[in-house]
Amino acid sequence: MKFKNPDVDFSKITHYLSTIKAFVSPYLPWKKEDADDDKDQNPYVLLFGDALIAENVITENQLKNALAIQTQRLKQEGKNIRMGELIVSLGYATEDQIINGINRYYKISAKSLSDNIDELITKSRISYRGKKSYLHPPIMVKLAIAVLFIVGLTIMTLSYFVLDREKGRLYQQTIKMGKINLSYFTNNAKVPLINDNILRLNTLIKESASVEGVSYAFILDKKGMIKAHTDFNKIGTKFAPLENARDMSQEGDLTYYRYTDAAGSEILNLSRPITFKDKHLGEVNIGISLDFIQKQIQNEKSFIIFLSFFIIILGIGMSIVLGINFSKPIDKLVTATQEIAKGNFDHQVRMRRQDEFGNLALAFNFMSHELKMKSLLQDTFGRYVSPAILKMIMADPSKTWLKGTRNEASILFTDIRGFTSYSESREPEKIVESLNEYFAIATKSILDNGGYVDKFIGDAVLGVFGVPLPQADHAERAVRAAVEMQRTLHEAGNNGNELVSQVGIGINSGVVVSGNLGSQVKMEYSIIGDSVNVASRLNSLAGSGEVIISKSVYELTSDIVTVEALPPQKVKGKSQLIECFRVTSIRSED
């Protein structure tokens, strides 16, 4: 399938990814993410350093210094020094201190710095995250708990204020109802009270007993004697003021207070004097049960609880549905991430959604495609350059290694003597098989010594040392690669491949221009310069199994090679004779 840049708002996707990152960051296998100086470093190097700082093995400044030295040596020498060994060599800590600190921090059991500590840390953290996932509830449970908490808190808060307000409103209505009854009694009890008409007074009181919430009512004369009462047994007795009255209030001629009767009921007593032409005739009292209010509030509470229970159940159900709706695409993305981590860049997230998750899946698929292309490029390019060079190039493809730059380098040219005549008498399949073995040996020798294969030209191989990664010992690397190559080719020739024993090698050192060469249609990374031409001419002087080097190469490697000086040679393209040497051996092969 061919991908195109999807029509997606990547700024929104970046926001969603950042949000997801905030949730999953505690489970990521590294911690640093904000230090600009460290952003190109191996995350496990930072993980390693964080552990040592946390365990007080080294300081943060010591880690920064070690990282700077590691980067500098990688650029200058093409060697990646392990962080633990570098810290020991700088005297910041001993090996035992480092190992003990790492073991304590990550709960691993490394024995020495030679162990694969990165792998141990990775397995430990993945195992921990795997166990931790079972300890944490799934997202649908979290959503249900969140909904339950929010809905419950909201209902409780609203219920408190609503019921408190309703209770106050009912209390005021009760007082209002009492005032109405008191007004009725005071207006209709004047004449019967003057005439001492007990029957008429009790008839008025009896009418009030039918009103809901009224516990009692009675009428006193001016001497405090009960003339009428809802309880007939109290008629004609002396009224005794209550001792447990509380919250007494007065509004004009209206007096009311609260008390608890012998049965434990909460009673609101309201009283008003009965007057006629400014003469005090007596007093009317009405007792209204506040339990009636409590009963109304309790009924409201029951309704609210039922409604709350229904809303909570509905909310939990919706949260579970939403949780599943969220967790399924997240599970798919987690699975896809695991597949990508395994190198399966063909894995696609199948998600037909018209929302942010759909956009995220589309962007993830686009990302996996781009990673696949990058992986293919890295794998293909890695066949031509050493791992150190490949790491430097892939770390920052925009750097000057792609542009035309001048560098000191050593160029190694190989060629097969008598290849034309050999190919005329052999089957094409046999020729291809022999050539592939020759190219494999040549490529391995060049890469193993830190160079890269610039190109194959027919039966010739062009190897380069010193670019794009500068190497102070590029000449020595080239000579070692040539001697090693001839030795391996000789062994292959003894095993039946007579073609590979006819290879001559020429090496020259000097200034070259390296960079991308070509057009917009086709482009390749290569080198040009007079030094390249001289290496090619030296190769033509080399016989089968010989390594011919220029004077510039000999001057750079005279302390390790044993040579045989050749007469100055006239080569094509040069007006002057050039000095050259045949390498007979390498004195030190460490």
* pLDDT tens track for 172-211: 777 787 788 788 888 888 888 888 888 888 888 877 666 6
**Within a domain: 500:** yes
Indicate whether 397 and 251 sit together in one domain: no
Indicate whether 393 and 486 sit together in one domain: yes
- The tally of domains found in the chain comes to 3
pLDDT at residue 401 in the model: 54
Chosen domain end from 296, 326, 344: 296
CA distance 121 to 321: 37
Confidence of residue 508 (pLDDT cuts 50, 70, 90): very high
* 387 pLDDT above the threshold of 80: no
Q: Which residue is it, tokens 């953290």? A: 125
Cβ-proximal residues to 425 (8 Å cutoff; 6+ apart), any chain: none
**Within a domain: 201:** yes
**Within a domain: 357:** no
Q: What is the pLDDT of residues 77-95, one digit of tens each?
A: 656 677 888 888 888 889 8
| Residue 332: how many other CB atoms lie within 10 Å | 17
E-assigned strand segments in 183-278: 214-221, 226-229, 246-251, 254-260, 266-276
Higher pLDDT, 552 or 320: 552
Higher pLDDT, 117 or 274: 274
Indicate whether 178 and 267 sit together in one domain: yes
Entry pTM = 0.44
Higher pLDDT, 36 or 428: 428
Q: Which helix (H) or strand (E) holds 143?
A: helix 139-188
Indicate whether 126 and 184 sit together in one domain: no
Indicate whether 129 and 162 sit together in one domain: no
State the CATH number of the domain containing residue 211: 3.30.450.20
**Within a domain: 503:** yes
Report whether 185 contacts 219 (CB < 8 A).
Answer: yes
State the CATH number of the domain containing residue 571: 3.30.70.1230
Chosen domain end from 242, 267, 296: 296
Q: What SS3 class is residue 213? A: coil
Indicate whether 69 and 174 sit together in one domain: no
Tell me which long-range contacts 520-524 makes (C-beta under 8 A, separation of at least 24).
Answer: 524/455
Indicate whether 129 and 180 sit together in one domain: no
**Within a domain: 340:** no
Chosen domain end from 104, 136, 168: 136
Q: What is the pLDDT of residues 204-262, one digit of tens each?
A: 887 766 666 788 888 888 888 988 888 888 888 888 887 788 888 888 888 888 888 87
Q: What is the pLDDT of residues 288-330, one digit of tens each?
A: 888 777 777 777 778 877 887 887 788 777 777 777 777 777 7
Domain encompassing residue 111: 31-136
CA distance 520 to 164: 80
Indicate whether 427 and 559 sit together in one domain: yes
**Within a domain: 9:** no
**Within a domain: 511:** yes
Q: What SS3 class is residue 540? A: helix
Indicate whether 124 and 184 sit together in one domain: no
**Within a domain: 266:** yes
Indicate whether 487 and 558 sit together in one domain: yes
Indicate whether 503 and 576 sit together in one domain: yes
Q: Which tokens belong to 578? A: 């050039």
Indicate whether 475 and 394 sit together in one domain: yes
